[in-house]
Amino acid sequence: MISRLSDDRSRAAIAASIERRRVDTRGLLFKTVLQSCLVITLALLAVLLITVALDSTDQIGTRLWEFLQGTLRSRSEDDRLGIHQGMYGSLWIAIIVAVLAFPIGIGAAVYLEEYAPRNRFTSFIEVNIRNLAGVPSVVYGLLGLALLLNGQIFGLDRLTGGSSALSGGITLAILVLPIVVITSGEAFRAVPNELREAAYGVGATRWEMIRTQVLPYAAPGILTGTLLSMARAVGEAAPLILVGAISGRLGDNPGLFNIRALTDQFTALPIVITSWTVQSGRDAGFIAAAAAAIVVLLVFVLMMNSAAILLRNRFEKKRG
């Protein structure tokens, strides 16, 4: 009887000590702050997208096809106003970036991660590649100007034709090169060491191990990184201004797949957007045109990002 009583008492004491749940004000506050951070981010993005979409309806809603096929004009009411030169220029730039920056950047990353000795010198190089990725893009524009237009080094201006899509593409390829090296390097570092050991263990050489294990395993990561860096390149305006992208009248484009277009005068979507926005001061109709160009650029970039995600999922399934 007595023991039952003390048992009940201790049960009551336990219940009293653990049934202390109350409202955690500070925790709730913290969670609310975090939520509002997210809401602010999304709201800003939504406002941006909605204003751009609304502004663009004059062009995209009424004459989409003409707008996509038209050219740079000095008046916004012009029937032939449009952005096909900007689209072609951006497409060429994307191709040049892919052709130049991807192999060189991935190659440099393979060397750094798989071959280079681990010492102070290599870590010095790695730190500086990261620094290069943070250099403002205008500086790369200056590099392109000196290297490809003014012919100060190697007389490369004769090859690029001065201000041309090729010059712009090369400049942007140099701009994204450090990003490609960093993202691919991270993809290589994520390859499990057990795979390397397994390949070596059955008599693979270093090259065979890299080709058959490291590259396939790292492919999705490399792909995502490189496509994102391409999206960055396509969105850059500042370096292109320095290498002389045209913002006013531009001769008729010789056609997308005419190789001559490479060394001709060029423009690109970000340049068109900048120029039209500037002109909207005297001709309000350019607001709609600039907004429409932004929509086109966003679609362009979104397509690249979705391609990156799709390809990555496919590779990862294969890795599976």
Partner 1 sequence: MTDDSPRATDDAPRLIERPVAAAPRPSADGDGAGPDAGTSRDTVFSSRDVNVYYGTFRAVRDVTFDVHTHEIMALIGPSGCGKSTVLRCYNRMNDLIKEARVTGTITYRGTNLYNERVDPVEVRRRIGMVFQKPNPFPKSIYDNVAYGPRVAGQKRGLDDVVENSLRKAALWEEVSDRLSDSALGLSGGQQQRLCIARAIAVGPDVLLMDEPCSALDPIATARIEDLMQEIKQDYTIMIVTHNMQQAARVSDTTAFFTAEVHSENDSRTGILVEVDSTQKIFSNPSDERTENYVTGRFG
Residues of 241-255 as b/e, b for ≥16 C-beta within 10 angstroms? bbbbbbbeebeebee
- With respect to partner 1, which residue has the nearer C-beta, 213 or 274? 213
- With respect to partner 1, which residue has the nearer C-beta, 114 or 186? 114
d(CA 134, CA 65): 39
Contact 163, 245 (CB under 8 A): yes
- With respect to partner 1, which residue has the nearer C-beta, 201 or 248? 201
d(CA 111, CA 162): 33
**Torsion over CA: 133, 138, 94, 171 (sign):** negative
- With respect to partner 1, which residue has the nearer C-beta, 11 or 319? 319
- With respect to partner 1, which residue has the nearer C-beta, 176 or 219? 219
Task: Give the list of residues 6+ apart from residue 295 with CB closer than 8 angstroms, or none.
Answer: 52, 53, 56, 60
Return residues touching partner 1 (CB under 8 A).
Answer: 117-118, 192, 194-205, 208, 212-213, 216-217, 319-320
Q: How far is the CB of 200 from partner 1 (least distance, A)?
A: 6
Q: How far is the CB of 212 from partner 1 (least distance, A)?
A: 7
- With respect to partner 1, which residue has the nearer C-beta, 51 or 313? 313
Q: How far is the CB of 226 from partner 1 (least distance, A)?
A: 21
Contact 190, 215 (CB under 8 A): no
Nearest-CA neighbor of 250 among 277, 234, 279, 272? 272
- With respect to partner 1, which residue has the nearer C-beta, 200 or 300? 200
Q: How far is the CB of 309 from partner 1 (least distance, A)?
A: 20
Q: How far is the CB of 223 from partner 1 (least distance, A)?
A: 16
Contact 216, 308 (CB under 8 A): no
Tokens representing 303?
């397509």
Task: Give the list of residues 6+ apart from residue 109 with CB closer than 8 angstroms, or none.
Answer: 180, 181, 182, 184, 185, 187, 188
d(CA 307, CA 227): 8
Q: How far is the CB of 128 from partner 1 (least distance, A)?
A: 22
- With respect to partner 1, which residue has the nearer C-beta, 88 or 315? 315
Q: How far is the CB of 110 from partner 1 (least distance, A)?
A: 17
Q: Is 155 left (phi over 0), alpha (psi -120 to 50) or beta?
A: left
- With respect to partner 1, which residue has the nearer C-beta, 10 or 212? 212
Task: Give the list of residues 6+ apart from residue 289 with CB closer than 8 angstroms, or none.
Answer: 59, 67, 76, 81, 276
Q: How far is the CB of 205 from partner 1 (least distance, A)?
A: 5
Q: How far is the CB of 303 from partner 1 (least distance, A)?
A: 29
